[in-house]
Structure 1
Amino acid sequence: MKKIALIVTILFTATQIYAQKIGVVDTNYILSKLPQYKEAENRLNTQISQWQSDLQRLQTEYERKKEAFENEKVLLVGEQLKLREKEIVDMEASIRNTIGARFGSNGEVNQLRSNLTKPYQDQIWNAIKTVSTKNNLGIVLDKTTNNVLFLDKRYDYTDAVLSLLVKNLPKADETKNNALPGGNNKGQNGRTPKGKINSLQRKASSNEATELKASEN
């Protein structure tokens, strides 16, 4: 009797596992197909470019004053020397703080990007729930964050989620001004120089990386 009960339990469990189908969705691909998201991302990139330009100006001014101070230091005495030294130290600290505040791991860039993505993530999640229910999916993996070594196209529901999401999204002009706070976008092309931002983020994420070039002299 116990053997029969055990067999029934195993069969029931196997049936339940089989009934829970696994689906895969590529959320990055879905985001790339949403005009509203792409437009908001371009506006974010324009803001990043503006911040990078501001930081470059600060860096250039710092290096100019640092060089002038080094050349004139032998002529300075007393309070005048202290004031000039303090000016250089304060400028260095200001640049370091700006890098951390804007481009650090918890900086404004990441916060703005999170604010940009979250509303679309919520909408994608609701669309995934609908598609999962319709297709009897027990598990849904995201190709963006999981290492999928093999995928049968039958279990890729990205297009189904995207189709449902596009039907329910408002038109682009209704969300044009809502994704990001306003800013001066004149003269910007909306592109982010990835090399620069990656370099700045690396500087802000560690104590060594935030040391400025001039302070090494």
Structure 2
Amino acid sequence: MRKLMLICLFAITALTASAQKFALLDMEYILKNIPAYERANEQLNQVSKKWQAEVEALNTEASTMYKNYQNEMVFLSAEQKKERQETIMKKEKEASDLKRKYFGPEGELFKKRESLMSPIQEEVYTAVKEISELRGYSLVLDRASDAGIIFGSPKIDISNEVLQKLGYN
């Protein structure tokens, strides 16, 4: 009886395993072939450079203030020294706050990236899902990610099919 149950279990496992279909896609390849993604990336780069320049300008201003303070320190009273130090620290904090506002985990760059990239990623996900349901894939892996895929047959790569479904060649 036990052997029969074991044989049935192996048979069910074998049938289930053979029924599963897998596919690969290369998300980097797909995104590089979507012009809207490239435009969004360029827009993010421009905004990032602009914001970085603002932060660097404040840091440079704080650095200049500090150098001037060091040069003039011997001529300043204790009260003037304290006042200058506080002004420099305020400027440094302002730069730090601005950097956090723009580049922090919930900063403006994150929000901008989310607003520009989410619709594109959602569109790709929808296309992959439709193809998977149509073809009966149980699992689709991204070969561009760090999943540790050493080899994947080009026969199961659906990247070009996803691009076609999205209207790109």
TM-score with structure 1 setting the length: 0.70
- The unaligned stretches of length 5 or more in structure 2 are none
Greater share of residues in helix: 2
Residues 3-14 of structure 1 correspond to what in structure 2 (within 5 A)?
A: 3-14=3-14
Question: 1:39 Cα shift?
Answer: 0.9
1:93 maps to which residue? 93
**Given that residues 48 and 109 in structure 2 are in contact (C-alpha distance below 8 angstroms), is that contact kept between their aligned partners in structure 1?**
yes
2:28 maps to which residue? 28
1:140 maps to which residue? 140
Structure with the greater alpha carbon radius of gyration: 2
Separation of aligned partners in 1, 2:140 and 2:55: 42
Question: 1:165 Cα shift?
Answer: 1.7
1:150 maps to which residue? 151
After superposition, what is the alpha-carbon deviation per residue over 1:157-188, rounded to whole angstroms, capped at 9, x for unaligned? Answer: 11111111226xxxxxxxxxxxxxxxxxxxxx
Separation of aligned partners in 2, 1:96 and 1:17: 55
- The unaligned stretches of length 5 or more in structure 1 are 168-217
Residues 55-204 of structure 1 correspond to what in structure 2 (within 5 A)?
A: 55-145=55-145, 146-166=147-167
Separation of aligned partners in 2, 1:56 and 1:147: 39
- Which SS does the other structure have where 1:36 is aligned? helix
- Which SS does the other structure have where 1:141 is aligned? strand
Question: 1:27 Cα shift?
Answer: 1.5
After superposition, what is the alpha-carbon deviation per residue over 1:13-53, rounded to whole angstroms, capped at 9, x for unaligned? Answer: 21111111111111222111111111121111110111121
Aligned identity (percent) is 31
Question: 1:5 Cα shift?
Answer: 4.2
2:15 maps to which residue? 15
